Chains A and B, each alone.
Chain A
Amino acid sequence: MKAKHQRLVLAVAALVGVAGAGVLAASALRDEAAYFRTPVEIADGKAAVGEAMRLGGMVAAGSIERQRDGLTIRFVATDGKASVPVEYTGIVPDLFGEESGMVADGRMRADGTFVADRILAKHDERYMPPQMGEMPKNMKAPTA
């Protein structure tokens, strides 16, 4: 019985130690392991001009402007606290749209515009049938 208890105490102590180290490492990584930066972080001056980075945020309502060449778009990325104008030339994913999340790879230009060379759409955690949300234009009503 005694040896068994000793092993249990040892195992639990080791586990607590390793878990503590894991949590410490994870929280230390909080900034490094972030997949993208937010507009408010850029407003705080955390992004140098020309430094390669990712910007994530919501596409502000009514902000998407298609340029004359048909390929370049400009929009405003916002996180509710700050916003950054973004410019991108290329094809965006189907789910990219206003009032929905996106992540852009690129760099800040000196004039404060984020120039993206790739855009990903970010999906949120809500799933619902079409009749509950607004109908997307590219989807037909379910027949069932």
Chain B
Amino acid sequence: MHAYANPTRFLAIARPLTPWLLCLGLLLVLAGAWAGLTQVPGDYKQGETARILYVHVPSAWLGMGGWTSLAIAGLVQLVWRHPLSGIAARAIAVPGMLFTALCLATGSIWGKPTWGTWWEWDGRMTSMLVLLFLYAGFIALTNGDEGQRQGGSLSRGAAIYALVGAINIPIINRSVVWWNSLHQGPSITLRGSSIDNALLWPLGLTLLGFSLLFGAIVLMRMRRIIADNRVAARLRRLADDEGTMA
């Protein structure tokens, strides 16, 4: 684990990995979208609107998975002070927020024809909106302080914020079980899926595809932050040298 916490070693792996994740992810998302739109039948009750699940479900999982990994990165930063964990947390926040927003938007578009409303303050929707705001808060808290902090690490406050925000993840997951909600209960659980196999398989493609895209965005953002830090360090050194020469 320590071996990969070194930015140089990380870059040696991340550089060739990025285009692979990006291309494979795009390919899988396109294949899943094509399959979901043309190759499977509509739902017996909802008809064609059910097809939005091939985007909505991966978005929801990635929005929640994003915060889970952000919280782990915050913990690693607090305890082990790994130089890469803070950079990873910063990199995850933006695609995490993007997918959370995508989940809320697709859910709203589906809700109007299905439920008859764009938005209701039920447990699932409210807790997901809270996740969006948590991401916004984390980005506001960490944006622009990479240069001031050693190697892009998080401030202690930001790392604690990431950990405390993780409480919302099990709440989102259980919201349809604990409370009566307009949102239906979980379709896919450890015991199996109540989405019929005939409709389920394109979800595997888009889920893997969006996850790879998420990974590619994180790697690209991490590389950018590392590069920015190196430029900032070099500029500082140059400025120091000129200072001593003058």
Contact = CB atoms under 8 A, between A and B. Distances in A.
Interface of A: 4, 7-8, 11, 14-15, 18-19, 22, 26-27, 29-30, 33-38, 56, 92-96, 100, 103, 119-136, 139, 142, 144
B145 interface: no
Given A11-B75, A128-B198, A35 B40 contact: no
Contacts of B53: 127
Interface in B59-90: 75, 78-80
Interface stretch (B18-26, B94-102, B183-191, B222-230): B183-191
Size bracket of the B interface: 35 or more
A35 B79 contact: no
Contacts of B42: 129-130, 139, 142
A112 B223 CA distance: 65
Given A14-B163, A121-B115, A125-B186, A130 B44 contact: yes
A89 B169 CA distance: 39
B238 interface: no
B50 interface: yes
Given A92-B116, A123-B45, A139-B42, 18 more contacts: A15-B75, A18-B163, A22-B167, A22-B171, A30-B178, A35-B121, A35-B179, A100-B45, A120-B182, A121-B114, A121-B116, A126-B195, A127-B199, A127-B200, A128-B44, A128-B195, A128-B198, A136-B47
A120 B180 CA distance: 14
B43 A128 contact: yes
Contacts of A130: 41-44
A133 B41 contact: no
Given A94-B113, A139-B42, A18 B199 contact: no
A40 to B, nearest CB: 12
B194 interface: yes
A128 B47 CA distance: 10
Given A130-B42, A133-B45, A26 B115 contact: no
